[in-house]
Structure 1
Amino acid sequence: MSFSRRVSLQWIPDQEDPEESTSTYVITSPNNEFVDIRIYSTNYPYTTEKQEAFDKVFQWGITGVEEPIEGTSKVNFKHEISTTEVMESVKTGKLLEECRGEPDVGDFSTIEGSEDRRETGSMVNLETGRKTDYIEIWRSLDPINHTPHNEVREPKETTDIPKVLVMEVNQVGFQGKLVRLGNWVQALVLNRSTKELHVIRYHFDTLLKNWVRLIQYAGIDFPTDFAGNVGDSVMIYCIGILAD
């Protein structure tokens, strides 16, 4: 399990220097289920009732499962939902299954003199539409003590066990995932019939004793605590629709 922030992105050879125009967090469960939300920094936090077009607010959102490739330092990020594929489906009128992208494989390595990690690979640059080599720098954070205003790195040793919650949304017409780790939770859900996307990122403020909404896009109100067992159902609500 991990809670990571992307520090920078660099397109090779298009960019001379790395940069970061988003607030990108990835929350991964002990079973390697993940929610990856990349919102443009100019829009963050985003909790407005008047919702803009998804691609004007977010760079990318992904849910899926991380699959380490045995014998290598590579990870295959198996996408269950990719917002770029959803946007392509909306734009072209094609079925979502016809808009699937290529495998998303990243090669990870350590950085000398740093606790951050380097990821290299090749993917489509959304600004140019071309498949391009990239370098991403990732930082592992403490899911209990990190806050929106105070960065706390993942401790090398800890006795604190973060609370973990993973919810699968698998209802007729809906698909998605919620992952909570410690005091942070992210979710991405797709209404397959309307192609509407629902996104959240919440942080539990231990002083205020409540959840602070950093991203609330579209209408689903997600539970952040669930006392059930694997396979149990929970109700979630969105505008005009009830799903479990």
Structure 2
Amino acid sequence: MSISARLSIAWESSPKPDEKTSTMVLSTPSERFVDVRPLLTPRGDFPFEWAFAGSARLLAPDGSQIEFSHDFFDSEYIRRWCECRKLELAGQTVQYPLKSDIPKDIGHFETLQDGTRRETGAMHNAASGKVEQYEERWVTLDPWKTTPQHKVQAGSTVAAESRLFDVKNGGEGRFVRVGNWAQGVFWNKDNLDTPISVLRVFFDGHWNPVLQHGDCSMFPVGENPAVGATISRGPVTWEVLE
């Protein structure tokens, strides 16, 4: 399990490294993750560069090449789906996006001397509307010592308890806890205006929200049941998978 934070990203069309988000990725031992990228300067009704969840698969034994799939949950897909649904309700003929069309991303990783990681690859750049080459810098955080005010880089090995909850009934979503941190994403298909809820919380004696968007009452914050258990929050049922 791990917590990663993005330090910067540079694009083919904008090669100067920059970071306009507070991106954090929480991953479980089976490499299932929740990746949330809130904008530092929010704009519009969805103040995120991206919010998604999926799984990672090693393509190289040393971890230098990883495939990321996010057809499990993808904010870009959900927002397009909701726009199609609105048009359909207004009487128009639409063609819904397909989850099978959500591309997988392949990142090539290199560990630098300072312990941070450089990722290179190609993916869709929302700013240009094109698939472009990119370079990202990432740091692995200590899940116990990192606070909302201070990032602490993890040592070579840091043991931390984790939990993974996936929605079983009542929508689609995932909630992951690693150490003192947890974050989740949820899709309410009955809400076309604010379909996506996002929550990031930190434990300092109590679970306190660091980031929240939409209705976050369904997330199983503070729960620590055994694998295989289910938890209900209103109309939403979660299952503990890890």
| Cross-structure match for 2:64 | 73
Deviation at 1:8, TM superposition (A): 0.2
Deviation at 1:109, TM superposition (A): 1.1
Unmatched runs of 5 consecutive residues or more in structure 1? 44-50
Structure 1 residues 24 and 227 mapped into 2: Cα distance closer, same or farther (>3 Å)? Answer: closer
27-36 or 64-73, which deviates more: 64-73
- Find the aligned partners of 1:200 and 1:190 in 2 and give their Cα distance: 12
SS at match of 1:143: coil
SS at match of 1:131: strand
| Cross-structure match for 1:126 | 126
Q: Is 1:97 aligned with 2:94?
A: no
SS at match of 1:17: strand
CA contact (8 A) 2:141 2:152 kept: yes
Amino acid at match of 1:74: Q
Q: Is 1:53 aligned with 2:50?
A: no
| Cross-structure match for 1:154 | 154
Q: Is 1:110 aligned with 2:106?
A: no
| Cross-structure match for 1:230 | 227
- Find the aligned partners of 1:183 and 1:108 in 2 and give their Cα distance: 26
Runs of 4+ in 1 over 4 A off after TM superposition: none
Give the TM-score, by structure 1 length.
0.84
SS at match of 2:15: coil
Deviation at 1:192, TM superposition (A): 3.2
- Find the aligned partners of 2:104 and 2:148 in 1 and give their Cα distance: 32
| Cross-structure match for 1:48 | none
Deviation at 1:99, TM superposition (A): 7.5
Q: Is 1:218 aligned with 2:209?
A: no
Q: Deviations over 1:94-114 (max 9, x none)?
A: 434267322111111122x32
Q: Deviations over 1:18-77 (max 9, x none)?
A: 00000000000111110000000124xxxxxxx9612xx011011011111145721111
- Find the aligned partners of 2:196 and 2:100 in 1 and give their Cα distance: 16
CA contact (8 A) 1:165 1:226 kept: no
| Cross-structure match for 1:47 | none
Give the TM-score, by structure 2 length.
0.85
Deviation at 1:228, TM superposition (A): 2.4
101-110 or 19-28, which deviates more: 101-110
Q: Deviations over 1:194-243 (max 9, x none)?
A: 451111000112xxx21221111111322223342222110124xxxx22
Aligned length: 223
Q: Counterparts of 1:130-141 in structure 2 under 5 Å?
A: 130-141=130-141
SS at match of 1:90: helix
Q: Is 1:168 aligned with 2:166?
A: yes
Amino acid at match of 1:166: L
SS at match of 2:210: strand
Structure 1 residues 98 and 63 mapped into 2: Cα distance closer, same or farther (>3 Å)? Answer: closer
Structure 1 residues 226 and 98 mapped into 2: Cα distance closer, same or farther (>3 Å)? Answer: closer
| Cross-structure match for 2:89 | none
CA contact (8 A) 1:220 1:236 kept: no
Identity %: 29
- Find the aligned partners of 2:32 and 2:18 in 1 and give their Cα distance: 27
Q: Deviations over 1:145-171 (max 9, x none)?
A: 10011121102355xx32211101121
| Alignment RMSD (CA, Å) | 2.0
Deviation at 1:193, TM superposition (A): 4.2
| Cross-structure match for 1:17 | 16
